[in-house]
A and B are shown apart, each in its own frame.
Chain A
Amino acid sequence: MSFLAPLFFVALAGLAIPVLLHLTQKEKKEVVLFPSLMFVRKIPYQASRRRRIQHWFLLLLRLAALALIILAFARPLLDRADVPASLGQGAREVVVLIDTSYSMGYGPRWSAAVDAARNVVSGLGASDRASIVTFGSGTEILLRSTAEHSALNGAIAAAKPGASATRYSPALKVAGSILAESQLPRREVVLISDFQRSGWRGQEGTSLPAGATLSAVPIQGAANRPNLSVTAVSLQRSRFANQERVTVTAGITNRSETAVTNQPVTLEAGGLQVATKTFNVEGGASTSVSFDPVTIGGRNYKGTVRLGEDALVADNAFNFVVSPSEPVHVVLVDRGGGGSGLYVAQALAIGDSPKFDTVTRQPENLTDEDLRKTSLVVLNDVPVGSPLGRRLLKFVEGGGGLFVSAGSRASWPRDVDLLPATIGNPVDRSRGETARVGGIEFAHPVFEAFRAPRSGDFASVRVYGYRNLGPATGAQVLARFDAGAPAVVERRVGAGRVLLWASSFDQSWTDLPIRSVFLPFVHRAATHLVAYVPSQPWATVGQILDTSRAGAHKGQSVPTLVLTPSGTRLPVSGDGTEVIELAEQGFYELRGDSNSAGEMAVVASNVDPAEADLTAMDPQDIVAASTGESQSDGAQPAAAPQTPETRERSQRLWWYLLCLGAALLAAETVVSNRLKA
């Protein structure tokens, strides 16, 4: 046993005071003059009783209480070997959390982290158990609750920094669950990290089990080289000589304090280095570099912006994938001649994302070939017979979209259950007050864009006539007229969707086509009906890759495997739906069976640029949030779990001694009161 504050033992000398008082206290010095001691002298002398200790038990009680309190102030701690035997606290369950985010690759940090983890392992007692858990944005338990040092050291050696960002909260939750399952009496978490501010978002509901302690081991260390990172890339498409080209502009941030000059940055496209540029950037500043336009060589055209070597390599490359833009094919079914389809056709002709390729057909001229090629059919106030209705039903069930405008001429066969509502009698609102559109479901994707104020006002649209709609079972009314009649109704049929507008797309019944909300309404309805998802040129490590969506191109077969940047082949289940977390930086390739040529889809994966910001936080924030109390910040990483202060704090012998001392004092009060009585 040793003591953190042995100087307090000087106070033990104070214990002699009550004893001396007991032994040496004499009668008062003030002499009482008395006429005659004739009688007093005859009485046997009893003053000496004062000098004897009358209540030994009381004295011992007081001395013991004082000694215990002094002992508590001296902050005793038991040596590690003594702990289980003398105190009965037992073995420890230690969870070593090692930060493997890519920022740990900065300078000498990773080797320092490994050393700190090994020190923790070497400090374990024979009966202690430990778990090795690595974490970035996700968490991986490398080794769970074992007492074998060799296995623990092996797990530490196998760990290495990944490409993910730092997230403390999931790691602490995993550590908490491991500790909660443990039967050992003392539970500790050792968090080895560079404690980036970006990894902690304050109180995240992470609290360790009661009694568990968290020791933070901050890994610091600066590199003598600057740290540059490519934070973003913007892609500007253009057409030249009937070919689509893309202009790449890279955003570069200098994370270090020193300025860099003439630093090269290269653009790789299609696996080839196509351009190199140099740039200058001040310390802590950002700049952008634009490359000459590159012709997109085909689908899933891979590109990478790459910087030279620096202190932190992981953030030096930025990957992206571009494909030639593919228009959405739309068939506008219109009676023609009257120009009633003009407004819809013009609205769809505008815009690049996506680009709509619209063809106009008369109802009787709509062929199966048209329906095979197209993704969306727009019925602009046309009567539909049963044959066409059945064909359209088949088309929608196969995943197509149908947008119906119910004007004065529209009709639908009763035997085909496709529309979201039956089209009833026309309602004339040209006299008196015109009908207005209200009761809009802004939560629906079609109207979501109009939710915010000044984002388009449907209430200003005037409707002079509309058809009474009787919504079918399973249909959703997205908007109503002011009288309560449905205005826009949607229904899912098979894999496709049908949207019905109760009025016309021209100005015969409404002024909607000349209102500002018309264009976004038509665009959003069209993209919603065809389930258009804009292609993302890149994703971030830690995001989820849904293979069914990534390879969901019409007419393609389902992917069967995913090839990771490191070359690992991840098989995909039979229906092509697999959820894969992006863990590496580079290109994930989704491949079909041997019959399909090349990759079906490519996903570029980049590191989280926020992780490149190495600004550190105070580890005490995490300690306090997790354990509810401020603990050691482990200023000495290697020795942090072993310092006498840490051991003393975990043993808390002073607490027991103080309680015992207080209990003795209380007992002393009771005993002395009894004796007095």
Chain B
Amino acid sequence: MSTETHEIPGARFMDPKVLARIGNLELVSKAVVDGFINGLHKAPYFGASVDFAEHRGYVPGDDIRRMDWRVWARTDRYYIKEYEAESNMNFNVLLDVSKSMDYGGKGIKKIDYARIIAACLTSLVSHQRDRVGMAAFDSDIVEYVPPSAKHMETVLHVLDRLKPGRPGSLKEPLHKLAEHYGRRGILVLISDFYEDPETVVEAVKPLRFRGNDIMVFHILDQDEIEFGFSDASPFEDLETGEQVPVVPDSLRKEYRAMVQAHIEALTQSFSKVGVDYALFDTSQPLDFVLFKYLAARSRRLKRR
């Protein structure tokens, strides 16, 4: 647990391994989110639909139900009331379910960790009456749930039955998904990003064209970062099935350097294109992930 997590007032962090054992995503997300909200005394109800924005002149074709009759009564002019459209924004989780996500070294599997994150964020956002949707992909789109205020349970259900099976790639499915998200919203992309940083950024860019806010959660297992193996063994790639004899002691140093370089490159690349990037290893508490999300969301609102 990092020192950063301690700074969150009232935060109650849960061990992902414990949560993974619960099995019921709804329950899990409720446990995490409720605790989290209770911890924040001033729950920021982002996107509240009653927030008035401005008046504008009536033009033919406007819905007369949005006519401000009080202004007409005072001024004898037709004005239309404009409200904050984001108060009910779209929230979509893009979840990588390629085979490489089906790895769990000593603790929880990456896919399960990602699943719980997705469920928690969905649950949290749904509490805020935003529309929630999701998409799962490997080398193609596997599942797609369009964003809706009533889709929380569907999202949880789909998340629950997702199973990684095929090798993955980012570019093709993400380009396809970019076409689905015409309306601005928040896209949370969860993946292990086993591709070149340039390829990854190239794949993510189209999502941003429509003005979506994109948050990238990079999920890695402790083993993938530290490479803490000791015995020389043949290593098998989960996606390709290729086997390579490996003497961990001899290449650990180089491996760690390369992983760090990869993470560094992703961080910089995403930063350049204005994408929030966060790295999580599966041993980190989920509350911490939610905090990250809310912090990022807060920043985004401030920017507007």
Contact = CB atoms under 8 A, between A and B. Distances in A.
Nearest to B247: A47
A26 B245 CA distance: 9
Contacts of B246: 27, 32, 40, 47
A33 interface: yes
B247 A39 contact: no
A45 B229 CA distance: 16
A28 B235 contact: no
A272 interface: no
Interface string A104-118: 000000000000000
B259 interface: yes
B184 to A, nearest CB: 33
A46 B250 contact: yes
A315 B258 CA distance: 108
Given A33-B103, A35-B194, A40 B251 contact: yes
Interface in A42-59: 42-43, 45-47, 49-50
B237 interface: yes
Given A45-B244, A47-B247, A32 B255 contact: no
B10 interface: no
B198 interface: no
B140 interface: no
Interface size grouping (class) on chain B? 20 to 34
Nearest to A36: B194
Contact of B221 (A35, A38, A41, A43): A35
Contacts of A35: 100-101, 103, 110, 192, 194, 221, 224, 237-239
A656 to B, nearest CB: 42
A43 B236 contact: no
Contact of B238 (A33, A40, A45, A46): A33
Contacts of A39: 255, 258-259, 262
B242 interface: yes
Nearest to B242: A37
B239 A45 contact: no
B231 interface: yes
A31 B234 contact: yes
Contacts of B243: 31
Contacts of A45: 244-245
A32 B229 contact: yes
A30 interface: yes
Contact of A47 (B101, B232, B258): B232
Interface string A85-129: 000000000000000000000000000000000000000000000
A35 B110 CA distance: 10
Contacts of B254: 43
Contacts of B271: none
Contact of A27 (B234, B236, B238): B234
A49 B250 contact: yes
Q: Give the one of A31, A32, A34, A42 with max B CB within 10 A.
A: A34
- The interface centre, meaning the residue of B194, B224, B232, B242 with most chain A CB atoms within 10 A of its CB, is B232
Given A33-B238, A34-B237, A40-B244, A28 B232 contact: yes
Contacts of B258: 39, 42-43
A47 B250 CA distance: 9
B38 interface: no
B251 A28 contact: no
Contact of A28 (B101, B233, B238, B255): B233
A603 B194 CA distance: 123
Contacts of A42: 258
A43 B239 CA distance: 19
A44 to B, nearest CB: 8
Interface string B249-276: 0110011001100100000000000000
Contact of B235 (A37, A49, A50): A37
Nearest to B246: A40
A42 B261 CA distance: 13
A72 B262 CA distance: 62
Contacts of A31: 233-236, 243
B251 A46 contact: yes
Contacts of A38: 194
B101 to A, nearest CB: 7
B194 A33 contact: no
A32 B242 CA distance: 11
A602 B236 CA distance: 114
B235 A32 contact: yes
Contacts of B255: 39-40, 43
Contacts of B194: 35-36, 38
Contacts of B229: 32
A49 B194 CA distance: 29
B35 to A, nearest CB: 30
B238 A43 contact: no
B277 to A, nearest CB: 19
A47 B255 CA distance: 15
Contacts of B110: 35
A47 to B, nearest CB: 4
Nearest to B251: A43
A49 B247 CA distance: 9
A399 B192 CA distance: 133
10 contacts: A27-B232, A32-B234, A33-B236, A34-B224, A34-B236, A35-B239, A37-B244, A42-B258, A43-B251, A46-B247
- Lowest 5 CB-CB distances: which A-B pairs, in order? A35-B100, A47-B245, A36-B194, A35-B103, A37-B237
Given A33-B238, A39-B259, 13 more contacts: A27-B231, A27-B246, A28-B232, A31-B243, A34-B236, A35-B194, A35-B239, A36-B100, A37-B242, A40-B251, A46-B247, A49-B247, A50-B247
Interface of A: 26-28, 30-43, 45-47, 49-50
